[in-house]
């Protein structure tokens, strides 16, 4: 291995591997270091997203959704199934196969693009030197022209519920249960709590979700949050808001979780406790004292809008820097930095980062919520369309939810799009494109959508901003 590179990337999650691949595509001699080991103990690339995050959680979400459909909803559409069973080890093994296919894919992409993938821990020293500590053998020093830090994030732990990896687990442990626990509690009704709570609830666990805040999903448009809470409770998720977890005791193969709510001291006894109270940037072992990098008060690597750190030619991207902890946000930052190093001038548009919660129905949004627009004092108009009025949703027996479009009342420019419904994640991608091109609600109304599609609900919601929806009686709301 050469010990000189144009670019060294530390971390091969979606932010780091994308940066490394794009650098190599642009002709830069690039190495990417990652210390992760897979379930078989061998080095893996792909970071949290591929190994313990987006991909494995979606594999279990899809499998559990299919199981529930077969068990509870097939009869409604005239399909009778004699008996529907669950083979959890097989479900987990399939999830693992998907993960290893994806992580091997990254190794293949590194090879195909000429990125030198290195297994071990990378530490940034002074003057763009990087120390590589391989899993076995001696450390080496690599000299780089540019360094991109992409170390990602790890779960937050709270003192009342220390992770033991057996009864009390974090999101990684919650992807590995070998049987369906009878009783599960999740601390945190955030994205992970709702997604993994849904997985085990669909597979038959009684799930109690303990959330500290009084408000459900405060970052989501209030109408969507309200409707989704009702739906999730109807699905059997016992979501208890305003609960402060005070302690836990593991005894006789179960966990007793203590919490305080407006009634007083309470306990819930479960077989598994999942702690999902957020993630924090991971910078342990990353920075030598004289690396020249500063962290902000939250422990994130301090960067400007272009992901440049305080040290020349050192950049940081992904979960370890400010902004939402989302794979696609990190990927866009990684690609932007690679192109800037190569002399181009792209930007990341942080106004159009889409968010998705992969429950069923899904919740997806981009741009401002109605409460944000209202607080800012902007005058705005809202268009809404329910999936119950969508022919495709009716045909698919999947009619819960709405699409909501918020537009500027003066210019008609789209300010935000919020979807609760089937394939909301795919529909919101169309909203992102529209907003990237500064579309107005009228532009969307004038665009032809194929019939019958779920996307027509987005078209109709845009039409309804001006009171022109065809398949629903318009209730024009201007503010």
Active site residues: 451
Indicate which of ligand NAD, ligand FAD, none lies near residue 173 (CB less than 5 to 8 Å, by partner kind): none
**470 strand-pairing partners:** none
The CB-of-218 to ligand NAD minimum distance in angstroms stands at 8
From 5, 13, 30, 457, residue interacting with ligand FAD (rule: CB under 6 A): 13
Number of residues that bind ligand FAD (CB under 6 A): 37
**How many Å apart are CA 154 and CA 37, to the nearest integer?**
15
Binding mask 406-445 for ligand FAD (x = CB under 6 A): ----------------------------------------
* 287 contributes a contact to ligand NAD by CB under 6 A: no
Indicate which of ligand NAD, ligand FAD, none lies near residue 122 (CB less than 5 to 8 Å, by partner kind): ligand FAD
Roughly what angle, to the nearest 10 degrees, separates helices 54-68 and 191-202? 40
CB-nearer residue toward ligand NAD: 188 or 445: 188
CB-nearer residue toward ligand FAD: 16 or 361: 16
* 320 contributes a contact to ligand NAD by CB under 6 A: no
CB atoms within 10 A of CB 105: 13
Q: Which of residues 205-244 bind ligand NAD (CB under 6 A)?
A: 210-213
**How many Å apart are CA 188 and CA 423, to the nearest integer?**
24
The single residue listed with the structure tokens 């420019």 is: 413
DSSP label at 51?
H
Beta strand ranges found along 96-253 (DSSP E): 116-119, 121-124, 129-133, 140-149, 153-155, 168-169, 183-187, 206-210, 238-240, 244-251
* 278 contributes a contact to ligand NAD by CB under 6 A: yes
* 356 contributes a contact to ligand NAD by CB under 6 A: yes
- For residue 227, give every residue at least 6 positions away whose Cβ sits within 8 Å of its Cβ, in sequence order, or none: 401, 402, 420
CB-nearer residue toward ligand NAD: 43 or 354: 354
Q: What is the arrangement of strands in the sheet containing 254-261, beginning at the earlier edge strand?
A: 244-251, 254-261, 264-270
Q: Which of residues 149-178 bind ligand NAD (CB under 6 A)?
A: 158
From 279, 368, 418, 459, residue interacting with ligand NAD (rule: CB under 6 A): 279
* 148 contributes a contact to ligand NAD by CB under 6 A: no
| Residue of 72, 113, 64, 114 lying closest to 88 (CA atoms) | 64
From 181, 190, 330, 386, residue interacting with ligand FAD (rule: CB under 6 A): 330
| Residue of 222, 196, 334 lying closest to 274 (CA atoms) | 196
**Radius of gyration over every alpha carbon of the chain, rounded to an integer in angstroms:** 24
Which positions lie near ligand FAD, rule CB under 6 A?
Answer: 10-16, 33-36, 47-49, 52-54, 57, 121-122, 150-153, 171, 192, 282, 285-286, 318-319, 325-328, 330, 358
């Amino acid at each position: 291995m050469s010990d000189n590179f144009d670019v060294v990337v530390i971390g091969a999650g979606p932010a780091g591997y994308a940066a490394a691949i794009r650098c190599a595509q642009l002709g830069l001699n690039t190495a990417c270091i990652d210390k992760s080991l897979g379930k078989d103990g061998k080095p893996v690339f792909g970071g949290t997203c591929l190994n313990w995050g987006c991909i494995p959680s979606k594999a279990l979400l899809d499998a559990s959704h299919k199981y529930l459909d077969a068990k509870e909803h097939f009869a409604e559409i005239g399909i009778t199934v004699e008996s529907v069973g669950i083979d959890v080890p097989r479900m987990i093994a399939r999830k693992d196969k998907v993960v290893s296919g994806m992580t091997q894919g990254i190794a293949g992409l590194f090879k195909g693009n000429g990125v030198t993938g290195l297994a071990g821990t990378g530490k940034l020293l002074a003057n763009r030197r990087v120390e590589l500590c391989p899993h076995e053998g001696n450390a080496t020093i690599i000299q780089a022209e540019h360094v991109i830090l992409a170390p990602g994030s790890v779960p937050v732990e709270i003192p009342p519920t220390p992770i033991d990896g057996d009864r009390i687990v974090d999101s990684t442990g919650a992807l590995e249960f070998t049987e369906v626990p009878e009783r599960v509690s999740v601390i945190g009704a955030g994205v992970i709590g709702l997604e993994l709570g849904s997985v085990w609830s669909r597979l038959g666990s009684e799930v109690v979700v303990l959330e500290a805040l009084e408000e459900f999903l405060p970052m989501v448009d209030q109408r969507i949050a309200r409707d989704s809470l009702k739906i999730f409770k109807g699905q059997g998720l016992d979501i208890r808001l305003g609960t402060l977890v005070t302690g836990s005791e593991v005894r006789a193969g179960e966990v007793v979780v203590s919490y305080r709510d407006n009634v007083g001291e309470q306990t819930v006894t479960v077989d598994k406790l999942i702690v999902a109270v957020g993630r924090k940037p991971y910078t342990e072992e990353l920075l030598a004292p004289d690396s020249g990098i500063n962290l902000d008060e939250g422990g994130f690597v301090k960067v400007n809008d272009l992901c440049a750190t305080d040290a020349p030619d050192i950049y940081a991207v992904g979960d370890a820097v400010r902004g939402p902890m989302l794979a696609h946000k990190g990927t866009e930052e990684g690609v932007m930095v690679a192109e800037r190093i190569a002399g181009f001038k792209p930007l990341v548009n942080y106004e159009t980062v889409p968010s998705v919660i992969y429950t069923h129905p899904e919740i997806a949004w981009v741009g401002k919520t109605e409460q944000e627009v209202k607080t800012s004092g902007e005058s705005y108009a809202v268009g809404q369309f329910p999936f119950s009025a969508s022919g495709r949703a009716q045909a698919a027996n999947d009619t819960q939810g709405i699409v909501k479009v918020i537009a500027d009342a003066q210019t008609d420019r789209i300010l935000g799009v919020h979807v609760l419904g089937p394939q909301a994640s795919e529909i919101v991608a169309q909203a992102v494109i529209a907003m990237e091109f500064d579309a107005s609600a009228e532009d969307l109304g004038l665009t032809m959508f194929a019939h019958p599609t779920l996307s027509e609900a987005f078209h109709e919601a845009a039409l309804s901003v001006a009171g022109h929806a065809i398949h629903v009686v318009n209730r024009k709301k201007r503010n």
